[in-house]
Every structure is written in C-alpha cells, then in structure tokens.
Amino acid sequence: MHIILSVFLILAGTHGVMTPINNPSALWDNDILIWDMTGNSTWAGPGLTYCTGIFGPFEMEYAASITDSTGSQGDVIKIFSSSDGGNNWQLENWITGGDWILTDPEICLGNSIPAEYFFLFFTGTTQTAIQPYGMRYTLPDFIFDAFLMPDWPSSDTLLSIEAICHPETGELWVFGDDSDHNINLSRSTDHGNNWTTTELVASDAILPAAAPGPAGWTYLTYRRISDNKIMSISFGETSYYETEVADGGDTSAPIIASEQSGSGDHVSIVYHDASFGIRMALSDDNGATWSVSSPISNGYYPFIDVFRQTKQSALAFIDYNTQKIYYASATNLVDLATQSPDSISNESVFMGGPPVIRHGGLPSEVGLFYMNPDSGSSPAPSNIWYDNSLHTQSNPETGHVVINGLSVGPNPFTDQFTVKFELDTPGECSLLIYSMDGRVVESVYNGVTDGETMNSGENLPTGIYSVVLKTGNSVTTSRVVKL
C-alpha cells in the first residue's frame, strides 16, 4: 500500500444526539487472577495500557503486562497464555530491559500461510535512546524471535505505541507518540522483518489508537494537546484526511473500532469528555463526518472491540463514582450507544489505564483484562486480572435449536474441505464462510435440517477463513486454512 500524505483535508465534525444508556446495575463478580505481579507496574501517565490481552487462533488466549519497575531487574514485560477459556494461565515468556523503562505493551495477530503470528510491541527508554521493539511468536508452537523497529525520530521519550495488523492487506502498522507530541507511523509487509521509514502523521497529538477497516482503510484517533479535541485520521489507498470529532478533556484517551455493514463502513470512537462523560462518536462515511452521543455514563478510559464475523460490539469503562468496571454489548456499533452497561467487578480497579475488552472465537466469548490497585497509597497496580463471565453458550430453551457439533477437515487443506454439523432437532440454520476481514465469501447451506455433511472451499484463494454455523439462538465457529 502506498500512502500519499500530501492530501490533507480538515473537516469540522458534526455533533448529533443518540439515546443515552440507562442507569447501570450489578452483574459480574467472578474474576480470575492471571498473575500476582508483586512489584509495581511502570507509571507513565493516564490512558496508557499497562495490561492487554487478545484471543488467538488454535483456541488460545494471550495477555501481557508490565511489572517490576522497582525490582532489581528493572521493568519486565510478562506474556501469558491460556488454552482453557481463561480459567488457567501460564507464563510463556518474560522480557526485561535491565535499567530500561518499558511502557505500553501492545499485542496483535497477523496471518500468513502456513504460519500464523502473534506480535508484542512495546517502548524502551534509556538515558540516551528511545525505541519501539517488536517480538514475534510463530503459532501454534509459540516459537519466539525478535525484530528491530526503525529508529524513531525523537531525542526525548516515546510515550506510547499502537499496533495493528490489517486483515485484508496483512500489513503491520505501528504508531508511536513522543514527548514532542508527534505521532509517527511505520509499516511492515513481511511480518516485521523490514519496516518503512517513519512518517509523521500528526503533530500536537497524544495517545494514538488505530483500527483496520474494509477496502484497505485504516483509522487512527488521538487527542490534540493544544485544545483537547478528539481527532481522527482516515488512511485510504492513495490519500488520507483528518477531522475534528468532538471536544475531549485533558485526560481523554480515545479508542476506535470499525465494522462493515452491507456496502457501508461504520467507524466508532469512544472517549470521556472534560466532565468524564463517556461518549461515542459514529461515522458512516469513512471518518469524514461524525455524530456524537449524549453522555452514556460518567467514567474514565472506555475501551471498545468488535467481533468482525457477526459485528457483535462491546464497551467497557471505569465508573467515575465507584471506580468499578462497567460493560455493555450490542449486535452492532450503532446500537452500542443505546445499551445499558452493567458492573463487572465488585472491587475498584486501577484508574491509570483502560480495561481491555476482547472478543473471542465465538460471539459469546468476551474476555476483559485489567489491573487492580496496590494495597498501599500508591496508585500503581499489583495484579493482572481476567474476567471470562461471558464465556457462555446459548442455553437450550423449548423450541430453540441447539448446535451439537461442527467439524472441518482436513485442516489445513489444498483443494477442498469437508464440513459436518449436527443440531439437536431439525431447525433453520445457515453455514457461511468468512474471510479474515469479516466478508462472507461463500454461503454453504441455508435451510431447515438436523445436520449435514458437505464439501466446500474449492473456489477459495489461499488464506485463513472462519466457518460459521448459525441458528436462531446460537453460533459456532471453526477456523480453516487453505494452503
């Protein structure tokens, strides 16, 4: 992808009104301890990620966090994995910078045939140098190697980074903001082996967040330092443009997500304003204009995620008064602003960074990663926690069709694969194949049955696909690879 940065349009955002969320009520109280961090985590200012997590292929989940900044080893990044739905976690790797300051771990998934990759990015600072660093893990065997990022154009401090892998192009995009309030971008088309020279994409800016969109689009949001405006940049194939989205506050840390609906592309930014009102901005024209909701609730540092195959969306934030995490979900981004959030945890949480919410391999799988405060007076967190309370399938009810099984093989395949599924009773269902960017590339079956066995995949190009079986009240997904 070639990006020409000379096309630069400033458009005023349009402020509309959405229905606010109702008063929250209690819901979750079961949280799982991933790791007792024992030492304090690196303190680098509000809004930065101290822990993060993601659902990967091969039924795995991953988490990363920074800890031990006061220990003899200096800052340490720990990487964890779970293969049982998040009930148990193991330490896969840890990285120390010695006396370096490590901040803002970011993880993302990339894909290539026949391997699939898990990436960890973070920033490292000494008294004389700053640098973003990248680690690559080849799945499913978790083979580790490191790669060098390009030199970052700053003589001071790199505050935070944002990393994504575009599902259509396969490109890795890494944004970094420094203490001079510049956001630079570097990209890789070969899984981190080679990187483009860094390009300045925004000045007077802090706290970048990015999301991929359909048709090769990539979206970036950040807060402008001089006036606390929430800003967005839309990157197309040959140009980009920047817009003012809304008024933020001096601690606002916006998060962006994108989904495709029919021929359109919905982009959403969540943030808290100067009065700590949680707001959502929506655009259906690739970020050219925006409508902004009324305050959804009062809180800090919202985080948003989209399950691309079904457009299921989720929002998490820290309540302003109780300092507890609240959660809301909807079947799409447009409806998310009208849902009623619920309290996840009965305990207060760390307010120095966002709770990170991620969708899993099924629409019913949602995980949330966060850190709790230390027992002392310092706000530094001491533990990384995980909540998998939404790892629940649809409960069988009278007259509802329940999926008993879905199998796909051979996997990987070269010509075609055989898919077999069973339902507990005859009912209406559909079997669809999705590409990694969320598009339906093949409709295999649509009708009434209690089970079928059929062949598919012969017309698909090389790539990774999701085979999704849907009934009226449940969804099951299986991933398949064509070589």
What separation in angstroms does the CA of 222 have from each of 3, 292, 363, 459?
20, 16, 29, 41
Contact 69, 39 (CB under 8 A): yes
Residue 231 in this model has a pLDDT that exceeds 90? yes
Rg (CA), the chain: 22
Q: What is the pLDDT of residues 148-172, one digit of tens each?
A: 788 777 656 677 889 998 877 788 9
Q: Cα separation of 124 and 418, whole Å?
A: 48
Task: Identify which of 348, 302, 379, 352 has the alpha carbon closest to the alpha carbon of residue 104.
Answer: 352
Strand order across the beta sheet in which 240-247 lies: 10-11, 240-247, 229-235, 218-224, 205-212
Q: Cα separation of 225 and 238, whole Å?
A: 28
The confidence score (pLDDT) of residue 210 equals 94
Task: Identify which of 56, 99, 105, 55 has the alpha carbon closest to the alpha carbon of residue 78.
Answer: 105
Q: Which amino acid is at 74?
A: G
The confidence score (pLDDT) of residue 201 equals 93
Residue 425 in this model has a pLDDT that exceeds 50? yes
The confidence score (pLDDT) of residue 229 equals 97
Residue 122 in this model has a pLDDT that exceeds 60? yes
Residue 356 in this model has a pLDDT that exceeds 80? yes
Token pair for residue 226? Answer: 């001089």
Backbone phi, psi, residue 465, to 5°: -135, 155
The confidence score (pLDDT) of residue 390 equals 52
Mean pLDDT, the chain, whole residue set? 76
Contact 188, 132 (CB under 8 A): no
SS (H, E, C) the chain: CCCCCCCCCEECCCCCCCCCCCCCEECCCCCEEEEECCCCCCCCCCCCCCEEEEECCCCCEEEEEEECCCCCCCCEEEEEEECCCCCCCEEEEEEECCCCEEEEEEEEEEECCCCEEEEEEEEEECCCCEEEEEEEEEECCCEEEEEECCCCCCCCCEEEEEEEECCCCCCEEEEEEECCCEEEEEEECCCCCCCCCCEEEEECEEEEEEEECHHHCEEEEEEECCCCEEEEEEECCCCEEEEEEEECCCCCCCEEEEEEECCEEEEEEEEECCCCEEEEEEECCCCCCCEECCCCEEEEEEEEEEECCCCEEEEEEEECCCCCEEEEEECCHHHHCCCCCEECCCCCCCCCCCCEEEECCCCCCEEEEEEEECCCCCCCEEEEEEECCCCCCCCCCCCCCCEEEEEEECCCECCCEEEEEEEEEEEEEEEEEEECCCCEEEEEEEEEEEEEEEEECCCCCCEEEEEEEECCCCEEEEEEEEC
Lowest mean pLDDT among 77-91, 201-215, 289-303, 395-409: 395-409
Instruction: Count the alpha carbons within 13 Å of 51 in the hemisphere toward its beta carbon.
Output: 35
Q: Determine the Cα angle at 6 with ends 4 and 9, to 5°.
A: 110
Q: How confident is the model at residue 12 (pLDDT cuts 50, 70, 90)?
A: very low
Four-way CATH pick for 403-482: 2.60.40.1930, 3.40.50.1370, 2.40.50.140, 2.60.40.10: 2.60.40.1930
Task: Identify which of 481, 458, 482 has the alpha carbon closest to the alpha carbon of residue 58.
Answer: 481
Q: How confident is the model at residue 403 (pLDDT cuts 50, 70, 90)?
A: confident
Hey, where are the domains in the chain?
10-387, 403-482
Relative to beta strand 25-26, strand 342-343 is parallel
Most confident of 173-182, 351-360, 398-407, 434-443: 173-182
Residue 452 in this model has a pLDDT that exceeds 70? yes
CB atoms closer than 10 angstroms to residue 331:
14
Total-model pTM: 0.76
Residue 22 in this model has a pLDDT that exceeds 70? no
Q: What is the mean pLDDT of residues 358-386?
A: 64
Q: What is the pLDDT of residues 45-100, one digit of tens each?
A: 445 666 777 776 666 788 888 765 555 556 777 888 887 777 788 888 877 766 66
**Could you name the CATH architecture of 10-387?**
6 Propeller (2.120)
Token pair for residue 324? Answer: 């507890």
The confidence score (pLDDT) of residue 155 equals 54
Instruction: Count the alpha carbons within 13 Å of 90 in the hemisphere toward its beta carbon.
Output: 6
Q: Which residues does 309 contact at the CB level (< 8 Å), separation at least 6?
A: 363, 434, 438, 466, 468, 477
